[in-house]
Chains A and B, each alone.
Chain A
Amino acid sequence: MIRLRPTHLRTRLTLWFVSALAGLLILGWGATVAILFRQLQSQLDHFAIQEIETVEGLMYFTPQGELQMHEDYHNHPESKDVIDRFLEVLSPGGAVLYRNDRLGERRLGGAPFAGEGVGGYSVRSERLADGTRVRMVSRLHSLDGRPLLIRLAHSEEPLWSRIDELSLASLLALPLVLALAGFAGYGLVRRALRPIELMARRAQEITPQRLHERLPNNNADDELGQLARVFNETLARLEQAFEQLRRFTADASHELRTPLAAIRSVGEVGLQKDGTRAEYRDIIGSMLEEVNRLTSLVDNLLTISRADAGSLQLERVPIPVMQLMRDAAALFEVLAEEKALTLTLSGDEAAAVRGDPLFLRQAVVNLLHNAVKYSPAGGTISARVGGRADKVTIEIEDGGPGIPAEDRPKIFDRFYRVDKARWRESGGAGLGLSITKWVIEAHGGGVELDREITSGCLFRIQLPRDSPL
C-alpha cells in the first residue's frame, strides 16, 4: 500500500491542523444538534402533556358505550384541521377504543406495557406504520369508572427536517471554513518554520573551510534557539576536531620531512663525488637509517590514526601488573646495565588489571624507555605498583633532568619533545607518551606527570583494578 505522505513539514502541519479542526467542528456541531433536538423534544413532550389534559376533558362515552370526543368547541369548523396531534385510546387490555382522524387506521405504538401511564406520563419515541417518527406520551385515565390508556403523539418530522436543513448548511459551510483555516494555518506554520529554513540555508554554507561560522540565534530560550545552540555547539566541537587534525597533519608532515630531507641530502652529496666502496656503503647505510626512522614514524602514526578512528580492538584479559612490569623492565636490563642504572621494581604482587596485554605493555615500555633514556649514568629508576581497593597505581620515577614546569602540560601532546635538538640521537618522534596516554585512557584509566617532584620525572598511571570475581 502506498502511503501518501507530504514531504514538506509545513504541508504536514497544516494537514494535521485542518483535520483536527474538522474533527472538532463536526464534534461540536453534533453536540449542538443533539442538545437542540433534546430541547425541542422536551417542548414537544410538555405540549403533549398539556394536550392530554385537554383530551381527558373532551372524552365521553356514548350511551352505546362508545368512546367519543367532543368536537364542538371549535369556533370555526376548519380549525379542526389545525389539530396536528395523533390520539389513540386503548383499554388496559390493548383493545382500541378510539383513534382520531389524523391517526386514521394506523397504530400508535404496540400493545400497552405493564405500568404504562400509571401515576404519571410515559414518554417515548415511536414510529408509525408509514414511517412517520412521533413523540408519544401515554397516561392512564379513568372515565366513568372505566380505565382508559390515552396515547397522544406529535410528529417529530418537522424537527428532523429542521435538523437536516441545519446539517446541509453546515456541510456546505464546513469546507469553506476548513479551507480558510488551512490557508491561515499554512501561513502561520510557514512563518514559524522560517527560522529553521534560514538555519538550514546557513548550515549549508558552512563548509570545512568555514567552520568558524555559527548559526544566528535570536531567541536563545525558545525551541529554535535551543536547536541553534545545540547545532553551534556541535560546530564548535567539529571545528576543534578539524583544527586538531590540521595540526596533526602539519606536524606529521614536518616530522616526515626531516628524515626525507636527510635521505635526499645524503644521496645527492654521495652522488656528487666518486667514492670508495666503503664510502658508498656508508652513504647507503646512512640513508637506510633514515628510512628506518621513517618506517617507525609511519607505524606510530598509523597506530594513532587507528586509535583516533576507534578501529583498534582492545582485548580484555586479566593481567598481573607486576608481571607486566617485570616483562617490560627486562627489555631494558641490558641498556640499564650499560648505563650503570639501578632499576628497581616493587609493589603489590596481587594487583591485576583487565585489558590488552600488548597495548598496556607498550604503554609502560614507553615510560620506562624514556626513564632509561633520560637518566644520567649511575642513576636510579624505580617502578612501584600499588593502589587502592578499586584502582591500581603504577609509578615510574627517574632521576633524570626532569621536565621544565612550563613544558609539563604539553608532554602528552603528539610530537612534543622536551629537548628538540636531541631527539635524533635518542630516536623518538615525540609520539611515545601520547600513545601511552591513549592506551591508558582507552583502558578507563589515566596517566599524569607528578607536579610536586622537583628532580627527575614521576609518571603515575592509574587503572581500574580487575576484581578477582
Chain B
Amino acid sequence: MRRDGIRFYKGNVHILVVEDEIKMAKALQEGLEADDYAVSVAHTGEEGFYLAQSAPFDMMILDVMLPGRDGFEILSTLRQRGMKTPVLLLTSRDTLEDRVRGLDIGADDYLVKPFAFPELLARLRALLRRGKTDAAQRLKVADLEVNVALRSVTRAGELIELTAREFDLLYYLLLNRERVVSREMLAREIWKEVARQTPLDNVIDAQMVRLRRKIDGQFEKKLLQTVRGVGFILREEQL
C-alpha cells in the first residue's frame, strides 16, 4: 500500500524494533510494515545490540524493560560507540526521572506504554522529518482546501468560517490526513495538555462534532470520520 501526497517515500526506511514481548513485537512489526516501513525485530537486548551494530538502520524503537541488558544500557553503549541513528524509547514506567534519563543518554523521543499506534507513527514521522521542513502552504483533501498563510478554509470553493481552535484541529488532521489521529495526540498537540489524566475526551468529541458540522454538514461525502476506539481520520475514501 503506497500513498501519495507530501509524505516522503518510506519503502527503504529501515526500522529496528527491540522488544522482548512477542505479541507486542509482532504488532509493531505488522503495524509498521503496513505503513510501508522495512522492519527488523530483535527479541533480546543482546540481539538488538548486535543488529544495531552490524547493519545501518534509519530508526530504532527500543523497549526499556528488557531481560539482561536493559534499553538504557544498550542505548548508552551504542551512543558511546558513535551510533547516530534516531532512537525512540518505549517504556511502561512514566516517571519524570526515567524520561530525563532516557533523553540524557541519547534517546530522541520517549513513548509510554500503552500508547495508541497512530501516536507511534506520528512520532516516527516527526523523527524522520527532523531537520526537513514541511513547506506545504496549501493542503487539500478532496474538495476541502486549507490555505495556511491566510488561515482560510474552503469546501467546494465555498469559504467556511472556523474558530482558531477549529482551524488548528483541521490543520493538524490535514497534515496527518489519511492517518488516524488519536485523542491523546489531539490533547497534546492542539489543547497543549500535558497531563494524561485531564478529562478531555468529551471536549475533543464535542469539538469534533462542531468541526464536522461545518466542513461536512451539507456535503454528501463525509471527510472527517471517527474511528471507533482510536480517534479520527480525515480522508476522502469512505469507511
A contacts, CB < 8 Å to B:
278, 281-282, 284-289, 291-292, 295-296, 299-300, 302-303, 313, 331-332, 334-335, 338, 358, 361-362, 365-366, 369, 373, 427-428, 432, 435
A-B contact pairs, 27 of them (CB 8 A): A281-B228, A284-B228, A285-B227, A285-B230, A286-B229, A292-B201, A296-B196, A296-B197, A300-B197, A302-B94, A303-B197, A331-B191, A331-B198, A331-B200, A334-B206, A334-B207, A335-B202, A338-B206, A338-B209, A358-B195, A362-B197, A365-B198, A365-B199, A369-B202, A427-B199, A428-B199, A435-B197
* Interface flags, B84-106, vs A, CB<8A=1, else 0: 00000000001010000000000
B interface, CB within 8 angstroms of A: 94, 96, 114, 165, 183, 191, 194-203, 206-207, 209-210, 227-230, 239
Instruction: Find out whether the CB atom of B229 lies under 8 angstroms from the CB atom of A358.
Output: no
Which residues on the A side are within 8 Å of B198 (C-beta)?
A: 331, 362, 365
Residue in A284, A292, A334, A373 whose Cβ sees the most chain B Cβ within 10 Å: A334
Chain B residue at smallest Cβ distance from A294? B114
Determine whether the beta carbon of A335 is less than 8 Å from that of B197. no
Contacts A358-B194, A427-B199: A285 and B229 contacting too (C-beta < 8 A)?
A: yes
Residues in A with CB closer than 8 Å to B165 are 334
Contact B229–A427 (Cβ < 8 Å): no
Chain B contacts of A278 at CB under 8 A?
A: 239
User: Are B228 and A288 in contact (CB-based, < 8 A)?
Assistant: yes
Contact indicator A284/B229 (Cβ below 8 Å): yes
| Residues of B with C-beta under 8 A to A358 | 194-195
B96 to chain A: which residues have CB within 8 Å?
Answer: 313
A291 to B228, Cβ gap below 8 A?
Answer: no
B121 to chain A, nearest CB (A): 16
Contacts of B196 in A (CB 8 A): 296, 299
A330 to chain B, nearest CB (A): 9
B197 touches A286 (CB 8 A): no
6 further interface pairs, Cβ-Cβ under 8 Å (given A285-B230, A338-B209):
A281-B228, A299-B94, A299-B197, A331-B203, A335-B203, A362-B197
- Docked Cα-Cα span, A338 to B96, in Å, equals 37
A324, chain B: closest CB distance, angstroms:
14
Contacts of A334 in B (CB 8 A): 165, 203, 206-207, 210
Give CA–CA (A313, B97) in the complex, Å: 11
The answer to whether B229 touches A288, judged by C-beta atoms less than 8 angstroms apart, is yes
Q: Is the CB of B194 within 8 A of A427?
A: no
Contact partners of B227 in chain A: CB under 8 A? 285
Alpha-carbon gap, A296 to B203, bound state (A): 16
> A5 to B24, alpha carbons, bound, how many Å?
59
Q: Which of B194, B197, B203 contacts A332 (CB 8 A)?
A: B203
Question: Closest residue to A290 on the B side, CB-wise?
Answer: B229
Contacting pair B228 A427 (CB below 8 A): no
Give the chain A neighbours of B199 by CB distance below 8 A. 365-366, 369, 427-428, 432
Instruction: Identify which of B197, B210, B229 contacts A292 (C-beta below 8 A).
Output: B229
- Residues on A with C-beta less than 8 A from B210 are 334, 338
Residues of A within 8 A of B206 (CB): 334-335, 338
Q: Are A427 and B197 interface neighbours, CB within 8 A?
A: no
What chain B residues lie within 8 Å of A427 (beta carbons)? 199, 201-202
Q: Cα distance A221–B229 when bound, in Å?
A: 65
Q: Determine whether the beta carbon of A291 is less than 8 Å from that of B239.
A: no
Name the distance in Å between B13's Cβ and chain A's nearest Cβ.
Answer: 27
Question: Can you name the residue of chain A whose Cβ is closest to the Cβ of B227?
Answer: A285
Q: Closest approach, in angstroms, between the C-beta of B217 and any C-beta of chain A?
A: 15
CB distance from A275 to the nearest CB of B (A): 14
Q: How far is the CB of A279 from chain B (nearest CB, A)?
A: 12
The chain B residue sitting closest to A306, CB to CB, is B95
Ranked 5 nearest A-B pairs via Cβ: A288-B229, A285-B228, A285-B229, A289-B229, A334-B206
A211 → chain B, closest Cβ, in Å? 30
Q: In the complex the two chains form, what is the Cα distance from A338 to B198 in whole Å?
A: 20
Among A289, A331, A361, contact of B228 (Cβ-Cβ < 8 Å): A289
Give complex CA distance A331, B114 in Å.
25
Kindly list chain A residues whose C-beta atoms are within 8 Å of the C-beta of B114: 291, 295
- Please tell me if the beta carbons of B195 and A362 are within 8 angstroms of each other in the complex: yes
B230 surroundings in chain A (CB, below 8 A): 285, 288
Q: Give min CB distance, B11 to chain A, whole Å.
A: 27
Residues of A with C-beta under 8 A to B202: 335, 369, 373, 427
Q: Report the separation of the CA atoms of residues A383 and B201 in the bound assembly, to the nearest whole angstrom.
A: 22
A313 to B100, CA, bound (A): 14
Task: Tell me the smallest distance from the CB of B119 to a CB of chain A, in Å.
Answer: 12
Q: Residues of B contacting A435 with CB < 8 Å?
A: 197
* In the complex with contacts A287-B229, A288-B228, A331-B191, A281-B239 CB distance below 8 A: yes
Give A332 to B239 CA distance when docked, in angstroms.
Answer: 30
A291 to B183, CA, bound (A): 13
| CA gap between A234 and B12 in the complex, in Å | 65
Contacts of A373 in B (CB 8 A): 202
Q: In the complex, which residue of chain A has the Cβ closest to the Cβ of B204?
A: A334
Q: How far is the CA of A278 from the CA of B207 in the complex (A)?
A: 25
| Cα(A365)–Cα(B198), bound, Å | 7
A111 to chain B, nearest CB (A): 91
**For residue A331, which residue of chain B has the nearest CB?**
B203
- Which chain A residues border B209 with CB–CB below 8 Å? 338
Q: CB-nearest residue of chain B relative to A370?
A: B199
A286 — which chain B residues lie within 8 A by C-beta? 228-229
Complex Cα gap A356–B210 (Å):
33
Whether the Cβ atoms of A291 and B197 lie closer than 8 Å is no
